[in-house]
Amino acid sequence: MTKKTGPSLEWCIVRLSDDENWWIDEISDKENWDADDLGIIDPKQFLHINELLDSMGEFGLDSQIVDDAFFTFEIKEELKGGKIKLVRVRDSLLKAEDMLFALPDVLDEEKGPYADFLNHVSQIRVTMLNELIEFVEPFTQEEMEEVLSEKNNNDFLEGRRSHFSVELISILEFVPDGFAIDADLDGDDKGENEDDYSDLDEELVDVSDKEEKLLPNEDLKWEEEEDKEKEATPYEGGAPDEQG
């Protein structure tokens, strides 16, 4: 199995799809990776994910498990057709100062680092639910996985591609049908409900002051006027004007 320190996974070429997710078109390690329907989590999506993970800290989130689960990439250059070349960086996803793309380590889908990570956050999410909701009987991880599996199967049958960000956020925001998180029960020092991200779009406006970090190459000619027009893309100013 390819190691994270190995030389073969060094770059990938990505494009922004109509579903506002980034998908990999080409990858350097063709031996271990199949680029067909292979998604990658963009910086804005991970900002949301990191907010959700942060609420898990008091419930025992292991940051090392999070870091081990992803390969990290940064923007290298813009290519023709609205595509972008990303290059590998060996940075901690949670501690990185630059905004990074995150490719889950699914080389071993059942026992690999990303599978361990999903199991870890699923356990914590269930613990949180049982802490914040008065169930008649304790809610179980098996019950949550059954609901999510049914949703994934329905999406597959309806021809919707499964993106890593959708899969992960569905776990981190999961609440059983018929229940809701009581904001008073979750009124810790952060003063926010881990499931209440209605103000997320406003918070993400702050990402604009980090655009320089998203564009390390001066050859990327993404002008300020184009940036303002692209506020609805997965990260302000980061998406090329042309979509593949």
Q: Rounded to whole angstroms, how far apart are CA atoms 73 and 45?
A: 14
Sign of CA dihedral 173, 175, 181, 185: negative
Q: Rounded to whole angstroms, how far apart are CA atoms 189 and 200?
A: 19
Q: Rounded to whole angstroms, how far apart are CA atoms 156 and 146?
A: 15
Check residue 99 and give its pLDDT.
83
CB-based contact 62:77 (threshold 8 Å): no
Q: Return the structure tokens found at 80.
A: 């023709």
Q: Rounded to whole angstroms, how far apart are CA atoms 9 and 32?
A: 9
What single letter denotes the amino acid at residue 82? Answer: G
Check residue 45 and give its pLDDT.
94
CB-based contact 102:71 (threshold 8 Å): yes
Q: Return the structure tokens found at 39.
A: 């998604």
Check residue 212 and give its pLDDT.
44
Report which of 227, 211, 219, 242 is spatially closest to residue 83, judged by C-alpha positions. 242
CB-based contact 43:235 (threshold 8 Å): yes
CB-based contact 163:21 (threshold 8 Å): yes
Q: Which helix (H) or strand (E) holds 122?
A: helix 113-132
Q: Give mean pLDDT in consecutive 10-residue pieces for the chain, a chain of 244 residues.
A: 59 93 95 92 93 92 94 94 93 80 91 95 96 93 93 73 90 91 47 42 41 45 47 48 46
The burial of 66, by beta-carbon neighbours within 10 Å (0-12 exposed, 13-18 middle, 19 or more buried), is given as buried
Check residue 122 and give its pLDDT.
97
Q: What is the chain's percent helix, strand, coil content, to nearest 5? A: 35, 15, 50
Check residue 159 and give its pLDDT.
63
Q: Rounded to whole angstroms, how far apart are CA atoms 73 and 71?
A: 7
CB-based contact 135:180 (threshold 8 Å): no
